[in-house]
Amino acid sequence: MSEKRTLTELEATFNVATTDSGMKFYAEIVDQEVLQIVVDDREEFPVFVTIDDSQILCVSNLWNKSEIRDGAENELNRILLELSLPVPLSAFAITRGGQYSIYGSMSPTSIIDNVILEVETLSDNTLSAIEEFSEYLQ
C-alpha cells in the first residue's frame, strides 16, 4: 500500500513537473495546510490543495454569487448541477459565503502522476467553466 502524500512532497513535485502537453506549475505552501498551485499562463485561477486522512482535495475558485447577473442564478445553478456528472474528474460547489468553485478529490495515497493529472484537468475545467458560463456573469 502506498504512503499518504504530503503537501511538502507535492510542492517539490509540482515545482519540477511538466505534463505531456507542456504544462508547468509553480507550487507554494501558503499556510500549514494548503498548497497553492499556479499553472503557467493561468495565474488568475490557482488550484488549492489540502490533504487529510481521507482525501487529497483540489479546489479552484470560479466566481462569487455577487458576480452573477440579476435573475440568472437559478438557471446557472441548474446547469452546474446537470454538468457535475459529465465534467471529467471535477464537480461544482457553492460555499456558504457564495463562492462558486470547481473541485476534484482522490485518495491520499494516489500515485503522483494521478495527482498531477487531477490538477491539470481541474485547471482545464476551470478555464472551460469560466468561458462556458460567462453569459451568466456581470
Indicate the pTM of the whole model.
0.92
Q: How far apart are CA 53 and CA 126, in angstroms?
A: 26
Which are the contacts of 107, defined by CB distance < 8 A and separation ≥ 6? Answer: 55, 56
Q: What is the mean pLDDT of each run of 10 residues along the chain (138 residues)?
A: 87 96 96 95 96 97 97 96 85 95 96 95 95 96
Q: Are 94 and 100 in contact (CB under 8 A)?
A: yes
pLDDT at 1: 52
CATH numeric code, 7-136: 3.30.1460.10
pLDDT at 74: 97
Q: How far apart are CA 47 and CA 44, in angstroms?
A: 10
Domain extent listing, the chain:
7-136
Q: How far apart are CA 96 and CA 79, in angstroms?
A: 19
